[in-house]
């Protein structure tokens, strides 16, 4: 009997994956442990090995995105069984998933045809649900699943065909972007975060003139240090200072338990350029154990981490395990703007610095022009109440205005 191979769950946060490439062809005999496919999740690619030996029958073609535990392929014991699978024999595992076997690569668009008098249309449960939601007539579609069964990709192709129809007179469409890949992940997680947490954002400004002077003392030693230490490296050190005084800000809600961490793994929101001017994305990379680093080491490790992610060479560890998040719009947002960033679940808190602005302030009885950094602190009120949140913000404010504290 054929052995089923399902989309593996390669990371805790993985809900779906994309088959980037099959490393063996349809009908090939593969050995157990042989590299079988490249699977991508949230821009991290994994080479997966074959868990069994047998003749490969590919169910999900390269380029498709499916949920974890969806049938990807089958291993036939011999060529006769392979022929049966290729001719549309369905294993018990194919009753539920939304994709089926194909005899040839799936067409880019589903052909439209009328099929009267052929009885009940064969379609997967998910395809029926998607067709009903999209207002599509199943009888007008040609299925590419086993035995002509209509499956998920046929519904998506029909929707794509409709989306590329000529615009109505007077409509001017600049671009149509499918909600998929990284953008779909962002949409899902941000909606989930707002729905499942009691988020509150508080904003203020801190005087960073002294901090900028401290940073400049490092910048002039750039050649000696081997790096031009960024402002964010100092900001991360200040966050660690505040966490040490209010540790519950460095926590996550895991099931029904608040887990407060001793080490600080800093999630850093990084923009990821897209292939066009419209499809850039955002990814939270994780710099582990920043509480054990000085500003120079933080800067070096942070730059290396961001380079790995933007070049597509990130590891699963690079994208997981954050205990606190930093999401900066400094240099991008207009000066003085205060934001209300959305929490990066399951973190309890997130700091959102923006672009500094110069303002007149009263300092030691004198009116001076100082550089002020706008800051927004978003926290989950289920875990962090107003009083400890205020103490955390005060500790950060103290450190930013007295930057020698972060180096003590």
Q: Please write the tens of the pLDDT for every residue from 155-183.
A: 887 777 665 555 555 667 777 777 777 77
Which residue did the predictor score with more confidence, 305 or 43?
305
Q: How far apart are CA 206 and CA 400, in angstroms?
A: 7
Q: Is residue 381 annotated as part of the catalytic site, yes or no?
A: yes
Q: Is residue 80 annotated as part of the catalytic site, yes or no?
A: no
The reported pTM is 0.64
Q: Starting at the earlier edge strand, list the strands of the sheet with 35-41.
A: 44-49, 35-41, 16-22, 65-67
Structure-token match 């050995």, residue found: 31
| DSSP codes joined into one string, 5-20 | EEPP--STT--EEEEE
Interval 15-33: pLDDT, tens:
788 888 899 999 999 999 8
Q: How far apart are CA 135 and CA 324, in angstroms?
A: 43
Per-residue confidence (pLDDT) for residue 8, from 0 to 100: 86
- With cut-offs at 50, 70 and 90, classify the pLDDT of residue 92: very low
| Residue 125: both structure tokens together | 């449960």
Of 78, 262, 307, 385, the active-site residue reads 385
The answer to whether residue 49 scores a pLDDT higher than 70 is yes
- With cut-offs at 50, 70 and 90, classify the pLDDT of residue 89: low
- Most confident range (mean pLDDT) of 45-54, 150-159, 189-198, 310-319 is 189-198
Q: Percentage of the chain with pLDDT > 70?
A: 85
Interval 342-352: pLDDT, tens:
999 999 999 99
Residue ranges of domains in the chain, CATH in brackets: 1-101 (2.40.50.100), 106-162 (4.10.320), 182-407 (3.30.559.10)
Q: How far apart are CA 276 and CA 9, in angstroms?
A: 30
Per-residue confidence (pLDDT) for residue 117, from 0 to 100: 34
Q: For residue 350, give the H/E element and its range.
A: strand 349-353
Which residue did the predictor score with more confidence, 114 or 403?
403
Of 47, 78, 262, 381, the active-site residue reads 381
Interval 338-393: pLDDT, tens:
999 999 999 999 999 999 999 999 988 999 999 999 999 999 999 999 999 999 99
Per-residue confidence (pLDDT) for residue 350, from 0 to 100: 97
Q: Are 240 and 261 in contact (CB under 8 A)?
A: no
């Amino acid at each position: 009997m054929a052995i089923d191979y399902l989309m593996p769950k390669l990371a805790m946060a993985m809900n779906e994956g994309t088959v980037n490439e099959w490393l063996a062809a349809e009908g090939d005999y593969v050995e157990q442990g042989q590299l079988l496919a490249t699977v991508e999740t949230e821009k991290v690619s994994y080479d997966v090995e074959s868990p069994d030996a047998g003749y490969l029958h590919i169910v999900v073609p390269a380029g498709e995105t499916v949920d974890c535990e969806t049938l990807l392929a089958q291993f036939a014991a011999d060529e006769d069984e392979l022929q049966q699978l290729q001719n549309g024999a369905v294993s018990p595992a194919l009753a539920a998933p939304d994709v089926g076997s194909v005899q040839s690569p799936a067409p880019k668009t589903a052909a439209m045809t009328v099929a009267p008098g052929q009885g009940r249309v064969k379609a997967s449960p998910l395809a029926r649900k998607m067709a009903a939601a999209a207002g599509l007539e199943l009888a007008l579609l040609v299925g590419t699943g086993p035995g002509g069964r209509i499956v998920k990709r046929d519904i998506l192709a029909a929707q794509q065909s409709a989306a590329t129809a000529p615009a109505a007179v007077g409509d001017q469409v600049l671009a149509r972007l499918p909600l998929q890949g990284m953008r779909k992940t962002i949409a899902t997680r941000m909606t989930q975060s707002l729905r499942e947490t009691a988020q509150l954002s508080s904003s203020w400004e801190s005087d960073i003139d002294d901090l900028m002077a401290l940073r400049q003392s490092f910048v002039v030693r750039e050649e000696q240090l081997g790096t031009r230490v960024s402002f964010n490296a100092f900001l991360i050190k200040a966050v660690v200072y505040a966490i040490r005084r209010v540790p519950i800000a460095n926590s996550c809600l895991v099931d029904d338990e608040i887990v407060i961490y001793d080490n600080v793994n800093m999630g850093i929101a990084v923009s990821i350029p897209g292939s066009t001017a419209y499809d850039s994305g955002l990814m939270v990379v994780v710099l582990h154990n920043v509480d054990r680093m000085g500003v120079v080491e933080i800067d070096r490790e942070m730059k290396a981490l961001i380079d790995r992610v933007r070049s597509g060479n990130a590891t699963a560890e690079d994208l997981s395990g954050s205990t606190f998040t930093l999401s900066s719009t400094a240099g991008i947002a207009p000066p003085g703007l205060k934001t209300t960033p959305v929490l990066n679940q399951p973190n309890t808190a997130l700091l959102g610095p923006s672009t500094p602005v110069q303002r007149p302030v009263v300092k030691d009885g004198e009116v001076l022009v100082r550089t002020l950094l706008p800051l927004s602190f978003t926290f989950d009120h289920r875990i962090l109440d107003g009083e400890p949140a205020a103490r955390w913000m005060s500790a950060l404010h103290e450190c930013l205005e007295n930057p020698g504290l972060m180096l003590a």
